[in-house]
Amino acid sequence: MAETIQGQDVLRRRFALGISERARRRYETLRMFRPLPHQERVFKSTASELVVRGGNRSGKTVCTSAEIGSAATGTDLHDHKGKLIPFKYPKDRPLTIWLIGYGENHIGDTFHRLLFRRNPEMRMIRDLETDMWRAYRPWSKADSSRLNDSRMAPPIIPARIIENWAWKDKSKRHFNICRLKPRAEFGKDSPGTVIHAFTSKGEPKMGDPVDIVWIDERIMFAQHYTEWQARIADRNGRIIWSVWPGNVNEALSRLIDRAQDEKEKDVEEVVLRHSENVFITKKQREKVIRSWLSQGGEEEVRSRNEGELVYGKQRVYPTFSDKLHRTPPMESDDDDKIDKAIRKNQGKVPKDWMRVMVLDPGHAHPGMLFLAVPPPSLCPDKECHAVVYDETYAPDSDADRQVTLSMDKFSGVTFETFFIDSHAARHTPMGFNKTVREQYTDTFRRHNVQSRTTGNSFRLASDDVDAGISLVRQMLAMQANGRPRLRCIPEYTPNFNRQMVRYQKRISPQGHVEDKPAARQIDPMCDCVRYFACAQPTYKKPPGSTIAGSSQYRYFQSMWRPSGEKKDKAIYAGAGAR
């Protein structure tokens, strides 16, 4: 009898423990977590490379930590209406997850805090109607009036599923590895999911296949990104980069460019704003934005509120701005003679200005830049002045496509000279028997595109990078009249403007910014303007304008022209036409 009672007590205790454990799991953070409507793209994205870009306190890191926690624990997430968000990671095997922080303190202060500790930014409260715990909603008056009844939510990754740690410095919570317990669906004798933490300051780990790489904020070496890309290939994995781009580098800049490129279907960008974070009171948000406005103006607000790119001291051309270097200026009171001439011509370059075209050839990122040199009578000094007035930028295009897209820019005006990158011009691509210069010359000849001094061919431009950058900087500098020698018409040159702002300096292995451009940038327009600055062409008055007719126009000319007659450019049609 006593044994029976004792056995029943054991069963009751086990049953009570089971009920208690079930309740605890029901109230774990990920099961209660509900993203805001504008944050749901973070969780619904299936892109292999995802940038979660946002301003200060916009929720980007909290959202990303919830995504990583969901993947690591196999926990389904729900949207703001409680609808299940499709789970995108394997559930039948353990995952390998890498966390990349700037330094060791980032591992302890950010990754460990967000994933493995109670977080003050995530709170829960008992619902007055159901008496069940749910996520705290500070924008609701019913919840905000009961702030003292709320409490911090449990860790995203609960302690019950952690098997062991490999610490570098436990007192500072700097961990190298966190191993989770295997789940039943992994099968017998299977290990659990493993989370590795690395700093961006060391050499990137090579060789291991990875399911998810989470990069949080800035990294030391931009060139490491390509190694992280290689790690996710074997498992069809993902890279998620949560960042306020206050100190952008070339890797982040390229990734954002790819995310904004319509051709890149598997790269995505989500932008979160501080002003949309309703977990911060409206009064506090407005106060912070006013503070940013007073400290740095509208640019500071756009950076810290909307997460716009900030390049700072890493810019090769820090003085360039499409507001300062635009022509004509926004205010006509700032006009000099050059600006007045363009304003009088409805914002376009007058036909008596000397025009040149600069080509940066290549298959991946070729570009053409069109510049005009004004007559000396409009220039305040004897130096070379120029206006970037048009461009052609068509990635992954050959010479024929480049010229075809530029025909309207060549028509109706006379060009003095065509310039080409001398280094690339001498190169003979594999599978071809002609140099790049010869290929473009043939293409220009077929399309009847020519300049006065080079015909269908090109003048080789200097490839002295350091000298070219120095000359461009001189042309960008403000002169005594308050206007620069190099200007642009930003409405027609969006790629030039973007690349000039994003053109970055190289960072040494020690983390020092060097006064040389970083490698592997998308910068054909920056190269073109550098070639022009090295040439410093002298103004020559253009002769009468010529029209480079279309291929159809030239076809009819050749077919309808009787032999021996005058070869004019008129096409005669109608009764009696010959």
pLDDT tens figures, 515-524: 889 887 888 9
Q: Higher model confidence: residue 495 or residue 296?
A: 495
User: How far is C-alpha 24 from the chain's CA centre?
Assistant: 41
Judged by average pLDDT, the poorest of 42-56, 189-203, 266-280, 558-572 is 558-572
Residue, of 223 and 388, whose pLDDT is higher:
388
| Tokens 């715990």 sit on residue | 133
pLDDT at 549 over 60: no
Residues 6 or more apart in contact with residue 67 via CB below 8 angstroms: 42, 43, 77, 240
Residue 488 has pLDDT above 60, yes or no: yes
* Position 545 confidence tier, pLDDT thresholds 50, 70, 90: very low
**564: alpha, beta or left? (left if phi > 0; alpha if psi -120 to 50):** left
Q: What is the pLDDT of residue 331?
A: 86
Residue 166 binned pLDDT confidence (cut-offs 50, 70, 90): very high
CA–CA distance, 60 with 80 (Å, rounded to integer): 16
Between 198 and 278, where is the model more confident? Answer: 198
Q: Scanning the structure block, which residue is given the tokens 């051309």?
A: 317
How do residues 57-100 score in pLDDT, each as one tens digit?
788 999 999 999 999 999 999 998 989 999 999 999 999 999 99
Higher pLDDT, 526 or 395: 526
- Closest C-alpha to 183, from 98, 72, 293: 72
With a cut of 50, say whether residue 287 has pLDDT above it. yes
Q: If pLDDT is split at 50, 70 and 90, which confidence band does 561 have?
A: low
Q: How much helix, strand and coil, in percent to the nearest 5, is found in the chain?
A: 35, 20, 45
Q: Which pLDDT does position 544 carry in this prediction?
A: 65
Pairing of strands 354-360, 415-421: parallel
Output the DSSP codes for 227-253.
HHHHHTTTTT-EEEEEE--TT--HHHH
Lowest mean pLDDT among 37-51, 158-172, 320-334: 320-334
Q: Give the 3-state secondary structure of residue 570.
A: coil
Residue 38 burial (C-beta neighbours within 10 Å; 0-12, 13-18, 19+): middle
Q: What's the maximum distance between 2 C-alpha atoms anywhere in the chain? A: 128
CB 197 within 8 A of CB 165: no
Residue with the bigger pLDDT between 568 and 218: it is 218
**CA 183/CA 160 separation, integer angstroms:** 12
Measured in degrees and rounded to the nearest 5, phi and psi for residue 132 equal -105, 150
pLDDT at 364: 82
Mean pLDDT of the chain: 86
pLDDT tens for each residue of 131-163:
888 888 888 888 888 989 988 899 999 999 999
pLDDT band at 222 (very low <50, low <70, confident <90, very high): confident
SS3 assignment, position 184: helix
Residue 547: what pLDDT? 44
When mean pLDDT is compared across 449-453, 482-486, 503-507, the lowest value belongs to: 503-507
**At residue 546, does pLDDT exceed 50?**
no
Asked whether 95 and 209 are in contact (CB, 8 A), the reply is no
Please tell me which residue, 205 or 422, carries the higher pLDDT value. Answer: 422
Nearest to 384 by CA among 393, 394, 368, 373: 373
Q: Give the per-residue pLDDT at 347.
A: 93
Roughly how many angstroms between the first and final C-alpha of the chain, as a whole number? Answer: 123
